[in-house]
């Protein structure tokens, strides 16, 4: 289904409609308030706001990881707990060296289970709007274009677009099933989508080190490159990237 946001009575910047995959995207770069301005499209037509970002260093456009012809898959068909368990086991098998025990401590190679829900201290949409504005204003999303994607919830944006940015790790629908769980437990929103990177806002981030470690285990299964490429251990990642942080970012090599 393709819905023209211009028919919603909203003031939106000039843009274009795309049929496969279905989305609207702006012709000009986003302003700090653009994400918030487009939020009414969710209630009006079930279109989720997202910022679409090119990889300028590699001259790669955001739409080069969209596959409108991929076999249809639905996050409803994937259980987030089983998906995370499977990905955790894969990561442990892939790591499999003598340093692995230090990397994942205090966890073992056995899947530790889901982190408990966080305490929601702010409206998830308000947190997302603030993060989007901050990222654009600080120049951390160069040239980002506003987009509207027909999807039931923010977590489903990836699947609706057929986004393949994590294809070296797992398929898109399993990722969306995990994002749905994070929406429910941590109030996340998909704020920005890049060629191979994902930016999420977090309205209920972990507030203690134990909570951050539990979330870090899920992140390590979801996107092991966050730890493998940037940090020495899960404990370090939890302390520096998750504790009290309302911005989660992932990238897949």
What's the rounded mean pLDDT across residues 109-128? 96
Closest C-alpha among 42, 44, 50 to residue 25: 50
Separation of alpha carbons 247 and 193, rounded Å: 13
How much is the mean pLDDT over the chain? 88
In this prediction, residue 202 has a pLDDT band, given cuts at 50, 70 and 90, of very high
Classified as helix, coil or strand, 207 is: coil
Contacts of 107 (CB under 8 A, 6+ apart): 213, 217, 234
Instruction: Write the pLDDT tens digit of every residue in 28-52.
Output: 999 999 999 999 988 877 899 999 9
Instruction: Write the pLDDT tens digit of every residue in 60-85.
Output: 566 666 765 554 578 999 999 999 99
For tokens 């989508």, what's the residue? 193
86 burial level (CB within 10 Å; 0-12, 13-18, 19+):
middle
Classified as helix, coil or strand, 114 is: coil
Q: Which of 15-29, 49-63, 220-234 has the lowest mean pLDDT?
A: 49-63
Q: Where are the domains of the chain?
A: 5-77+123-207+247-251
Evaluate if residue 3 carries a pLDDT over 90.
no
């Amino acid at each position: 289904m393709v819905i023209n946001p211009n028919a919603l009575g909203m003031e939106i910047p000039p843009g274009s409609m795309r049929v496969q995959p279905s989305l609207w995207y702006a012709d000009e770069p986003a302003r700090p308030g653009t994400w918030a301005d487009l939020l009414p499209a969710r209630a009006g037509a079930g279109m989720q706001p997202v910022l679409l970002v090119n990889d300028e260093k590699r001259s790669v456009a955001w739409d080069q990881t969209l596959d409108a012809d991929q076999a249809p898959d639905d996050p409803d068909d994937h259980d987030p707990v089983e998906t995370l368990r499977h990905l955790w086991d894969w990561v442990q098998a892939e790591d499999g060296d003598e340093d692995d025990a230090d990397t994942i401590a205090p966890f073992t190679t056995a899947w530790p289970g889901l982190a408990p829900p966080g305490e929601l201290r702010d409206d998830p949409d308000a947190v997302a709007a603030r993060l989007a504005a901050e990222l654009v204003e600080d120049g951390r999303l160069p040239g980002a274009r506003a987009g509207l994607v027909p999807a039931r919830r923010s977590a489903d944006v990836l699947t609706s677009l057929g986004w393949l940015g994590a294809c070296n790790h797992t398929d898109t629908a399993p990722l969306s099933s995990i994002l749905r769980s994070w929406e429910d437990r941590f109030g996340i929103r998909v704020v920005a989508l890049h060629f191979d990177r994902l930016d999420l806002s977090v309205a209920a981030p972990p507030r203690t080190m134990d909570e951050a470690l539990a979330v870090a285990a899920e992140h390590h299964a979801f996107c092991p490159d966050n730890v493998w490429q940037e940090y020495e251990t899960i404990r370090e990642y939890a302390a520096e990237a998750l504790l009290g942080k309302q911005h989660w970012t992932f990238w897949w090599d």
